Amino acid sequence: MDLNLNGKRAIVTGGSRGIGLAVARALAAEGVDVVLAARSAEPLAAAARAVAAESGRRILAVPTDTGDDEQVRRLVDRTVAELGGVDILVNSAATPWSPGAATDLAGTDDDIVRREVEVKVLGYLRTARAVAPHLVAQGWGRIVNISGLGARQANSIAQTIRNVSVAALTKNLADELGPHGINVTVVHPGLTRTERLTERLAAASAKSGEPLADLERAEARNSLRRIIDAEEVADVVTFLASPRSVAITGDAIAAGGGVPGAVYY
């Protein structure tokens, strides 16, 4: 299926590694020119060079802290100036959930929640707010927000709040921007094989002596009983970023390999 993405222009935040980088690669493979945004300049530049070499597309690296509204506006302005416009926004910039962080009522202080909301929720809001006028003006666009299956699990107050909030933001944007030809969706990855997960499991294997494959099987509690790769999440996002996804907006798409036992409708 031709996704009709050739020649489109995208911004991918959190694009230096993990799901964001996988999304950038998948979009570029479909003919999209991509601006990668993340806080650390050197890894970002290296990622941009790699995607450009693989795809032959124009790939720009723009160091950006999405916690800063002025930096976000500069990111969008530069994208429009250098690529001639913007068609797609994929929000994937978020601080990773810290193992060992408080999850219960007594341990969840205000600062924990503020930190989680500042980048993942308000950061997504800032980028959408900066991009939306350009999408409205051209009468077409896609915004895909990467959240997480933590939105459907009550095992951490702050983590659930941030992921549910991304879904709420998505639905509000979809209803407001839909009449202008703009679809907005949220993707909920589960446990995903990224550089961070690979490093964590390798370290655990080295420490315990347990084979890496056994650790992976123990971690994979989804219906498929295997860890989903970042590239497989990126395939879902790429479809949602395409004109072919016109029938889907305002909805949450789970991309975690299935949750055993649960019925979502």
What is the per-residue pLDDT for 200? 83
Q: How many CB atoms are located within 10 Å of the residue 258 CB?
A: 14
Just give the CATH number of 9-191+230-254: 3.40.50.720
Residue 186, helix vs strand vs coil: strand
Secondary structure of residue 91 in the 3-state scheme: strand
Listed by start position, the domains of the chain span 9-191+230-254, 193-226
DSSP-assigned beta bridge partners for residue 9 = 33
Query: What pLDDT, on a 0 to 100 scale, did the predictor assign at position 51?
Result: 98
pLDDT beyond 90 at 123 = yes
Lowest mean pLDDT among 71-75, 104-108, 203-207, 228-232: 203-207
Q: What is the pLDDT of residues 21-65, one digit of tens each?
A: 999 999 999 999 999 999 999 999 999 999 999 999 999 999 999
Tell me if 62 sits within 8 A of 68, measured CB to CB. no
List pLDDT tens digits, range 209-218. 888 787 788 8
Write the DSSP assignment of 8-21 as a string of letters: -EEEEETTTSHHHH
pTM summary value: 0.94
